[in-house]
């Protein structure tokens, strides 16, 4: 029974820690991606930076880019790859296209019948 409870806890941690998503408003966005790391195995796999960048909307600028160390060249990177969670968060603004200028620009619209 204890092994079943432990398996359920481990499965819950794996499923909740490994996701990616995008949240937007009219002019801003926030994209994120996470991986659960255990003995250099990344779940769900792939680079969290690439997954987060794939979610960035078109016509968007990046204001901030936050990512945990995920390499084998630093102590924190190795420790995080043995057991840990790596994440990437990208925040920015969505460029809203300007509206086309009014062709008539305030003049009264002509009404009536026309014949050729």
The domain limits of the chain are 18-94
Q: What are the structure tokens assigned to 51, written together?
A: 């997954």
Whether residue 44 is preceded by a cis peptide bond, meaning omega within 30 degrees of 0, is yes
pTM of model > 0.85:
no
Please give the pLDDT value at position 28: 93
Tens of pLDDT along the chain (116 residues)? 778 888 777 776 666 656 888 898 888 999 999 888 888 888 777 788 888 999 998 889 999 999 887 778 888 888 888 888 888 999 999 987 766 555 555 555 555 565 55
CA distance 23 to 56: 10
Buried b / exposed e over 76-94, threshold 16 CB at 10 Å, is ebeebbeebebbbbbebeb
Largest CA distance in the chain: 91
- 99 and 69 Cβ atoms separated by less than 8 Å: no
């Amino acid at each position: 029974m204890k092994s079943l409870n432990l398996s359920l806890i481990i499965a819950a941690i794996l499923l909740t820690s490994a996701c990616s998503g995008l949240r937007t408003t009219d002019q801003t966005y926030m994209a994120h991606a996470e991986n659960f790391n255990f003995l250099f195995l990344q779940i769900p796999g792939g680079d969290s930076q690439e997954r987060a960048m794939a979610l960035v909307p078109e016509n968007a600028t990046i204001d901030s880019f936050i990512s945990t160390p995920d390499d084998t060249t630093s102590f924190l990177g190795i420790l995080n790859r043995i057991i840990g969670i790596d994440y990437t968060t990208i925040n920015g603004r969505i460029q809203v296209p300007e509206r086309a200028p009014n062709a008539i620009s305030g003049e009264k619209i002509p009404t009536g019948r026309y014949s050729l």
